[in-house]
Amino acid sequence: MTAEQIIFLIVGAVTLIAGLMVVTVRNLVHAALWLVAALFGVAIVYTLLNAGFIAVVQVVVYIGAIAILFIFAVMLTRRQAADTGASVNKNWWAGALMAAATFAGLAFLLQGWSGFSKTASAIPLGFDAVNQLGDALTSPAGYVLPFEVASVLLLAALVGAVYLAFNKK
């Protein structure tokens, strides 16, 4: 077993455990902090996949912005979010069954696929993924249209969030 595989197993286990804590702990501030741990694990997985830029974006956008936004929202709605009543609804067992069935179905489908245990070919010498990504995002032959649509979506979300959360009184 190589060092890379050992790192993957440790990080994968930590990520899955942190994910389980996110959906099971009662205190929502703790759930948001466990989400930060899970997101860090995913960032390390990106690094193992040689996608350094995506890993950095994961830390900056997900942990720096989204997780902090969650903590703010939990604190702003704290009185009701406080630990009264059950943290899961009465049909939680159906949800657990559904999640287990989804995992079993995905695993079954994947292990029947021919490319399942493929190993990665080495990155070609002098290949600059960040350069290529920038080219792909801005060239008309690449993905400039989805890129611009995403910016319009972000603007719409910005205006919508301000409108929804604005206190009219």
Partner 1 sequence: MIPLSWYLILAAGLFSIGLFGVLARRNAVAILLGVELMLNAVNINLVAFWRYGDVAQMAGQVFAIIVFAVAAAEVAVGLALVISVYRRRNTVVAEELDLLKW
Chain positions 69 to 98 lying near partner 1, rule: CB under 8 A, are 69-70, 72-74, 76-77, 79-81, 85-89, 91-92, 94-96, 98
**Minimum distance, C-beta of residue 39 to partner 1, in the bound complex (Å):** 7
Q: How much is the CA Rg of the chain, to the nearest whole Å?
A: 20
Residues with Cβ < 8 Å from 15, sequence gap 6 or more? Answer: 37, 38, 41, 42, 45
**Cβ atoms of 58 and 39 closer than 8 Å:** yes
Inter-residue contact 58 to 43 (CB < 8 Å): yes
User: Which residues inside 36-65 make contact with partner 1, applying CB under 8 A?
Assistant: 38-39, 42, 45-46, 48-51, 53-54, 57-58, 61-62, 65
Looking at beta carbons only, is 57 or 140 nearer to partner 1?
A: 57
- Any long-range contacts for 120-123 (C-beta under 8 Å, 24+ apart)? 123/50
Site for partner 1 in 109-168 (CB under 8 A): 110-111, 115-121, 123-124, 127, 129, 132-133, 135-137, 142-143, 146-147, 150-151, 153-154, 156-158, 160-162, 164-165, 167
